[in-house]
């Protein structure tokens, strides 16, 4: 029997692994609730504070994406392919941005290296 099967069955290691796996989703639920509260109370009227929050949200989303890609399984590969292909929607320079993010003409080892450096 693999050790992790035993650990998930007989100790709190399974709980810890599940908390870590679901922690990012719970974190983003809290963030979206916070944004909803800000919209409800009109916090968007304070432009500098609101813009800082938007920048933080985008940074957190980028961090979560990189964390999703780093295990480099099939879901990570296709997630990287889909999300980086969104850059191709930028007029004039979109395809260049995609190839730069990929480090070539397709998602491959240079792409993973670039995400590791972030």
* 38-94 pLDDT tens trace: 999 999 999 999 999 999 999 999 999 988 888 888 988 999 999 999 999 999 999
Q: What angle do CA 102, 65, 15 make, to 5 degrees?
A: 140
**Averaged over 6-18, what is the pLDDT?**
66
DSSP 8-state class, residue 2: -
Is this model's pTM higher than 0.85 or not?
no
pLDDT at 23: 87
**Averaged over 14-25, what is the pLDDT?**
78
What gap in Å lies between CA 95 and CA 110, rounded to an integer? 17
Domain spans in the chain, listed from the N-terminal domain onward: 1-70, 71-117
- Give the residue carrying structure tokens 């590791």: 116
pLDDT at 54: 96
- Give the residue carrying structure tokens 């004039």: 92
Burial of 79 (0-12, 13-18, 19+ CB in 10 A): middle
pLDDT at 20: 74
Cα torsion 74, 76, 79, 80: sign: negative
Judge whether 67 and 41 are in contact, CB under 8 Å.
Answer: no
Predicted confidence band at 3 (pLDDT cuts at 50, 70, 90)? low
């Amino acid at each position: 029997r693999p050790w992790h099967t035993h650990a998930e069955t007989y100790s709190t290691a399974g709980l810890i692994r599940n908390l870590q796996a679901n922690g990012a989703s719970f974190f983003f639920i809290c963030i979206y609730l916070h944004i909803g509260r800000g919209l409800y109370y009109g916090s968007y009227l304070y432009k500098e504070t609101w813009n800082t929050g938007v920048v933080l949200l985008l940074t957190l989303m980028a961090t979560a994406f990189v964390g999703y890609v780093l295990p480099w399984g099939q879901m990570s590969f296709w997630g990287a392919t889909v999300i980086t292909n969104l850059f191709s929607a930028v007029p004039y320079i979109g395809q260049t941005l995609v190839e730069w993010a990929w480090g070539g003409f397709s998602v491959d080892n240079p792409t993973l290296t670039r995400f590791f450096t972030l």
